[in-house]
Amino acid sequence: MKVILIKDVKGVGRVHEEVAVADGYALNFLIPKKFAIPATPVAMKESELRRNQSIDRSLIDAALTVQNIATLAEAHIVIKMKANEKGHLYDAVGANEILEAVKEQAHIDLPIDTIRLEKPIKALGTFDVPVSAAETFGKFSITIEAE
């Protein structure tokens, strides 16, 4: 039976793909769980339209992310954290904290997978944070100060 997937299904296919599966698998699992719909001509046209819209949306999102990375390269973000007298932080600064500070100070919303920290930052000072999206790579500076 041919079905059009509504959600990604491991081992079967990705969203908006038309796949051939066993009748029992489609009727007893995929369709009742809302993972797929039967591949009728109307559903195939709608799926093609949604696939094209999703591709267009992802291209726009990628372009916006590249633009945000370029804008962020000129910005300088300051994060205030509690630290001891030796300059060691009580709590590490990870990608989530950096993204919150970027959103708050630079008003730029980035996906979390664009931040490429090797390990969380655990000291006061100025650090370069590498970022990447698709084929675009960049970095921006953050300063971690004591509260």
Which CATH code of 3.40.5.10, 3.20.20.100, 3.30.70.20, 3.10.20.600 fits the domain covering 2-63? 3.40.5.10
pLDDT by residue for the chain (147 residues), tens only, comes to 999 999 999 999 999 999 999 999 999 999 999 999 999 999 999 999 998 998 888 888 888 888 888 888 888 899 999 999 998 999 999 999 999 999 999 888 888 888 999 999 999 999 999 998 877 888 899 999 998
pLDDT score recorded for residue 11: 93
* Spatial distance between the Cα atoms of 146 and 80, rounded to a whole number of angstroms: 6
C-alpha closest to that of 70 among 41, 110, 116 = 110
User: How far apart, in whole angstroms, are the C-alpha atoms of residue 63 and residue 51?
Assistant: 18
CATH no. of 66-146? 3.10.430.100
Q: Tokens representing 26?
A: 């489609």
In sequence order, what are the residues at sequence separation of 6 or more whose Cβ sits closer than 8 angstroms to the Cβ of residue 59? none
Domain boundaries, the chain: 2-63, 66-146
Same fold, 2-63 and 66-146: no
The pLDDT value given to residue 76: 84
Q: Where are the beta strands (DSSP E) in 6-135?
A: 18-20, 36-38, 76-81, 88-93, 121-123, 125-133
